[in-house]
Structure 1
Amino acid sequence: MARRKARAASAVAAVAALDDELRCGMYEFIRHARRPVARDEAAAAVGISRKLAAFHLDKLVEAGLLCARFEPVGGIRKVGRVPKVYEPTGVDVRVSIPPRRHDLLADILLDAVLTEGAQENAVQAALRVAQERGQRLGAEERARSRPGRLGAERALTSTGQVLVSYGFEPERETPTCLRLRNCPFHPLTARSPELVCGINHAFLRGFLAGLQARSVEAVLEPRPAECCVALRST
């Protein structure tokens, strides 16, 4: 969870770094160059001095959008100091409030298409893959945190802490119920609620199985503007 929070903070920092016309211009120029770009060239691209360009370029490096190294421009070594060159890091910057996980849904659907068996249809394959994916992630989380035996109270607390990082925004509604206030797959849910909610439900059932939270059950309880699933202690 800490790693995902750090990634979210990095994404926000990256977006903030681009909220400057000069930085955004240089970043776009370097991305489109498809090769290492020196400070002088980046400065000329937006019409500023080399010194000011260096300041902005280093800010883009700090934000994780560019990487920098010292290298002869064009591969030709000249007398004097080797120039600093910049390239994109390939970071995919996305910020969504509230959090969305369309990438997770897309991965599940892609895997379903690639692994659909002869005895199942597309929907059945998607539900199977969703449960398998959830179970794998739950098992990975259990191996990381080593929670031991999970009673109902601890299971709800532990599961809620983990699901924060997946964008579900869990909230303890009662001592035995954890509501998921955000649907990470919204607004796609509105296009096919039966399919997307089914995938979500299967994913969370698999996650609980992988976490070995046997005293917690994922149940379909749709509410407007919230996740269709609630977690209840059994």
Structure 2
Amino acid sequence: MDATSGDLEALGLLSEPQRARLYEFLAANGPCTRQEVCEALGMGRTLVAFHLLKLEQARLVTTVDEPAGTGRRGRPAQRYRAARRELNASVPPRRYELLAEILLRAAREHLPSESFTEAAVRAAVRLGRGLAAEQAASGAPDALWDLLGRLGYEPAADGGSVLLTNCPFQRMRAVDTELVCSVNAALARGCLDGLNASERFTARLRPCPDNCCVLLEPAA
């Protein structure tokens, strides 16, 4: 499952009104016991337990143990709090925060002897390598395909090549096409390098008015 799919699933859980009320209550009131939630929201224990389980599985709620020294006997009551998980979901996938990170790195590391686009390309390659290293550590059987999906590129096989059918920075491409397309290609190259896939594929730019400009072709 890519990041967008996971966020969409989590947001879907909050479309249930009572579950959303419970989540908002925890976000506003901090760690609470199940009984405190029941009393505050007027919901039964079984229903509260069900919603808490769903939210915990989606990493929207976490549990904490009641601090020692409360004066209560027996096993400490488990408390629940809203997690600080950020949810970003769009269809098709967009990753503007990734582009912002690349451009901030480029601004910080920009050399006087190079253009800003060159600095952004260096930053994108380095970030791609780092993301690829994390993906490789996961042990996924098709790490390159999974990583491209996580980044929002929606890869599709085209003979021996890989088409990146979605641009995760689509709106920004209209602002500076050369910069954004160069960053896309550099990010893909970094992913290939980090996964030792540069011997299998090479990333190149291609004309593309409506999707990503990067094509991964079999290496010569």
The interval holding the TM-score normalised by the smaller chain is 0.7 to 0.9
Match of 1:84 among 78, 85, 102: 78
Confirm or deny: 8 A CA contact 2:31 2:64 kept in the other structure. no
Query: Do the aligned partners of residues 49 and 137 (structure 1) sit closer, same or farther apart at CA in structure 2, a change above 3 Å counting?
Result: closer
Letter aligned with residue 221 of structure 1? R
Percent identity of paired positions between Structure 1 and Structure 2: 36
Residues of 1 paired with 2:147 and 2:67: CA distance? 47
SS at match of 1:99: coil
Partner residue, 1:219: 204
Deviation of 1:123 after TM superposition, in Å, equals 2.8
Confirm or deny: 8 A CA contact 1:64 1:89 kept in the other structure. yes
Letter aligned with residue 11 of structure 2? V
Q: Deviations over 1:33-74 (max 9, x none)?
A: 2x311223323443334443333223222222111244269x
Deviation of 1:139 after TM superposition, in Å, equals 5.7
SS at match of 1:27: helix
RMSD, aligned CA: 3.2
After alignment, is 207-216 or 62-71 more displaced?
Answer: 207-216
Partner residue, 2:122: 128
Query: Do the aligned partners of residues 111 and 45 (structure 1) sit closer, same or farther apart at CA in structure 2, a change above 3 Å counting?
Result: farther
Residues of 1 paired with 2:153 and 2:167: CA distance? 6
Partner residue, 1:108: 102
Partner residue, 2:27: 31
Deviation of 1:27 after TM superposition, in Å, equals 0.8
Query: Do the aligned partners of residues 84 and 144 (structure 1) sit closer, same or farther apart at CA in structure 2, a change above 3 Å counting?
Result: closer
Residues of 2 paired with 1:44 and 1:143: CA distance? 45
After alignment, is 126-135 or 162-171 more displaced?
Answer: 162-171
Partner residue, 2:35: 40
Structure 1 alignment gaps of length 5 or more: 148-156
Query: Do the aligned partners of residues 71 and 136 (structure 1) sit closer, same or farther apart at CA in structure 2, a change above 3 Å counting?
Result: closer
Q: Deviations over 1:158-196 (max 9, x none)?
A: 854642332212223233x32211112223222322211
Structure 2 length as normaliser, TM-score? 0.80
Letter aligned with residue 167 of structure 1? G
Query: Do the aligned partners of residues 114 and 32 (structure 1) sit closer, same or farther apart at CA in structure 2, a change above 3 Å counting?
Result: farther
Residues of 2 paired with 1:52 and 1:144: CA distance? 36
Query: Do the aligned partners of residues 77 and 12 (structure 1) sit closer, same or farther apart at CA in structure 2, a change above 3 Å counting?
Result: farther
Confirm or deny: 8 A CA contact 2:102 2:123 kept in the other structure. yes
Structure 1 length as normaliser, TM-score? 0.76
SS at match of 2:81: strand
Match of 2:49 among 47, 51, 54: 54
Match of 2:181 among 197, 209, 232: 197
Match of 1:171 among 156, 160, 169: 156
Partner residue, 1:230: 215
Report whether the alignment pairs 1:14 with 2:7: no
Query: Do the aligned partners of residues 185 and 22 (structure 1) sit closer, same or farther apart at CA in structure 2, a change above 3 Å counting?
Result: same
Letter aligned with residue 187 of structure 2? F
Letter aligned with residue 54 of structure 2? K
Structure 2 alignment gaps of length 5 or more: none
Residues of 2 paired with 1:60 and 1:111: CA distance? 35
SS at match of 1:128: helix
SS at match of 1:187: helix
Query: Do the aligned partners of residues 21 and 196 (structure 1) sit closer, same or farther apart at CA in structure 2, a change above 3 Å counting?
Result: same
SS at match of 2:198: coil
